[in-house]
Structure 1
């Protein structure tokens, strides 16, 4: 008996008449709504508990508005808040750092804290049977963290070192310059404190900020896992009964993002340039949002996009070029970014502007829209497949005042978008005249080319 003939992948995918046609995609199935309770406690804390019993675990996400509302320029709030997040696990009035770790380890749990200009974020998980312990440790940290002087001194030194290292990174320099170009001195720009501000922070200042600003009103606690939602809410209410004190401090409204020339930020000796372009956008509740998402994907939102095809595949200017939507409870923005060699700074900016203009006047084709649609719907569904992913997605939506129903319903909205609606969104939002931004580069090497190109403020 002779051995079977082996065919290559190309042969399998072809016929004498040409390549085999891909079978049509099946209709998108509706995402079933899980068993869920979404309620606000008397303290003002919003609790969302969702039953997802795939594994015997519980994921926890807590988002507390934690903005600087002092109105004082060069406030020390970012530095104090950052040290609060790094020292809160150092111990409480009842537990040492080791005691916290031991209690969580006993239920297969972890807790982590992070802070940004808008909120304090807490992420954690535990075995389902350890939910009470997870909530008890959380309450102890929120109410009784001591921020010991010696721990704060050590964390202060570590934080200064991390900031100094990060501040030398081109991406961090570009991000800081972009935020200032877009929003001036608004607190949202204070994404990283200055080393000298961190050095000046005392343990008393950290304790005072926790007592004054870490409040439940307006905060959101999400629990997703092998739990009974109503029972989980009762457990939260019991564990956090003493967490009171009114409304947490929300971020003031962002200033309008206005179009103007890009700003050249000199970085002497740099061998690469960072291009960051930004324009106003719309949020999730706008009826045009799904069309905007598809237009953005076609431009640079994933690998099969126009920016990647032009700047990476055709010109070879960069390894990475992208466009994205930045969503904030107070606004939304488009961001186009790429890093290129210094000698092609002006040509790369020219091509990026060209692709923006081309998208606005030569909108995505039906094939481009369909490819973006499949990618977007698949990404949405993937984000909900695990307990951790679902918890993070729900917490993010809740920060924008939305429920989990939005993410379950959004695939259908994406499916309903027409090619004409994507074209309209492309024309409305991606025209180059709507953008501002920064070019971080060695001015000695790039200024002449950028000046000749125009639309760049060269100091």
Structure 2
């Protein structure tokens, strides 16, 4: 006999004869135990952080090297350096590097931005000495072969040409110029023609001059003995030395409030709204209150702004606000992408929600929901070896440590509704922001100019 099944919709499942099913109460948030972190600065100036996080027999590695530069060609050369760092040394070619890492279940990747060069990866815990040997080889003896540089130069130039045509890239560059002028922090992506002009000799020269241990941070988290791991680092990287420290990025001037700049993108069917205001760094006493105020405004899916322009108005698929840390400061970012024909309406609603944060402060229920999300998402992010390694590296670069991390859930718990309201009043008033609106000015210009506070074509 064949059983008969009846399909029920999500609405039917969620309701009873007397109405919607009640949601169960949230359980107690489980605390994620954070391990002790052993730290040692090697004679070379390299800071090493190591923490035991068992569970899986793996270790996560994060190396952060300050990598600022003021030369006009620095971003292009740095990009090619990061692309070819793992392509060969005096003793290993690209295939041998890959094979040696694969033999211990490991991988390494390299990235660079105006502030830092980062090397990250993971591998089996008992293979850590072998991973460190490969890392030491590329840090001290990478040859950046002419053929590899030529190949990566062509590939990178093509990728940049494609990226520079993307609306989000255009909006990001416009926002960075609006906020920081011509400061080196704005040079996040070189131009294709700049990359095409880079030589292998320039790449090798930059490695010798800038890829140095002084001021760098190496973090290891996993199923390791921290003291033994640091000893392995000391042995493996003993030859990585230099007579000077890595170059830190100078703090940029923080932007002043002002009009939004209308950036013309001919033929665009979408617009990018990018607003930015000042924020607080993690070590500021008011950071936890600002974090909760941001969540109420636009920092997660249940925020006011998301509810307005996505759920109610249908202007966008996504809207987000959050804190961006820069040397010497922090900024609030507010961003969304909308269709051209609703650009003015979306900007109006965005300003409305910013103003409502000051005129109608977050309620106790809103603060409690944001608090639960902030604590829960923090603990989830730290539950993996990789998440903890990344966070420890970021905190160390800001002069903070695992004790700050341990105490942060308590700080979030202690914040009052009144403190969140005060943060909202100080940081979310529309008059405290600047930014850009990127789109076809011939289509959106009249509408957004009518709202006021707009300059440009």
Q: Verify same fold: TM over 0.5.
A: yes
How far apart are residue 16 of structure 1 and its match?
6.6
1:198 corresponding residue in structure 2: 195
In angstroms, what is the RMSD of aligned CA positions? 1.9
Q: Which residue of 2 aligns with 1:280?
A: 278
Structure 1: distance between partners of 2:13 and 2:390: 44
Secondary structure, counterpart of 1:264 in structure 2: strand
State whether structure 2 residue 258 is matched by structure 1 residue 260.
yes
Deviation at 1:12, TM superposition (A): 8.5
- Is the Cα–Cα contact under 8 Å of residues 252 and 327 in structure 2 kept in the other structure? no
Q: Is the 8 A contact 2:37 2:402 kept in 1?
A: no
* Map of 1:242 onto structure 2: 239
| 1:220-249 Cα shifts (integer Å, max 9, x gaps) | 000011111011111101111111113100
1:83 to 58, 80, 84: 80
Query: 1:83-102 residue pairs with structure 2 within 5 A?
Result: 83-102=80-99
Cα pair distance change 1:112/1:11, threshold 3 Å:
closer
Aligned to 1:220: 217
The alignment's TM-score, normalised by the length of structure 1, stands at: 0.94
1:67, 1:118 within 8 Å by CA — same for their partners in 2? Answer: yes
SS at match of 2:256: coil
Q: 1:362 to 1:12 in 2, by over 3 A?
A: closer
Could you tell me whether the CA contact under 8 Å between 1:451 and 1:458 is conserved in 2? no
Whole-angstrom distance in 2 between the partners of 1:378 and 1:63: 27
Q: Once the 2 structures are TM-superposed, how far is the Cα of residue 408 of structure 1 from its aligned partner?
A: 2.1
Q: TM-score, normalised by structure 2?
A: 0.95
CA contact (8 A) 1:261 1:436 kept: yes
Q: Which structure 1 residue ranges, 5 or more long, are not aligned?
A: none
Q: Does residue 158 of structure 2 align to residue 161 of structure 1?
A: yes
**1:183-216 CA distance string (max 9 Å, x none):** 0001110010011110110000000000000111
3-state SS of paired residue (1:89): coil
The answer to whether the 8 A contact 1:447-1:458 is kept is: no
- Which structure 2 residues correspond to residues 343-362 of structure 1 after superposition, within 5 A? 343-362=341-360
- 8 Å CA contact 2:31–2:379 kept in 1: the answer is no
2:438 corresponds in structure 1 to 440
Q: Is the 8 A contact 1:328 1:400 kept in 2?
A: no
197-206 or 387-396, which deviates more: 387-396
Matches within 5 A, 1:56-455: 56-68=57-69, 70=70, 72=71, 75-245=72-242, 246-455=244-453
* Conserved 8 A contact 2:251-2:326: no
Count matched residues: 450
Contact 2:354 2:430 in 1 (8 A): yes
Whether the aligned pair in 1 keeps the contact of 2:59 and 2:128 (CA below 8 Å) is: yes
Q: Is the 8 A contact 1:52 1:226 kept in 2?
A: yes
The answer to whether structure 1 residue 23 and structure 2 residue 25 are counterparts is: yes
Give the drift of 1:23: 3.4
Which position in structure 2 is the counterpart of 1:37? 38
What is the distance in 1 between the residues matched to 2:456 and 2:327? 33
Moved more, 397-406 or 217-226: 397-406
Partner Cα distance (1:325, 1:91) in 2: 38
Q: Distance in 1 between matches of 2:177 and 2:14?
A: 55
- 1:88 Cα deviation after fit: 0.8
Kindly provide the CA deviation profile for residues 238-288 of structure 1, in whole angstroms up to 9, marking residues without a partner as x: 111111113100000111211110000000110001000000111000011
Offset at residue 384 of structure 1 (A): 1.1
C-alpha distance in 1, partners of 2:192/2:30? 51
Contact between 1:216 and 1:248, CA under 8 Å: does it hold in 2? yes
1:21–1:117 Cα change, 3 Å: closer
The alignment status of 1:457 with 2:438, answered yes or no, reads no
Q: Secondary structure at the match of 2:85?
A: helix
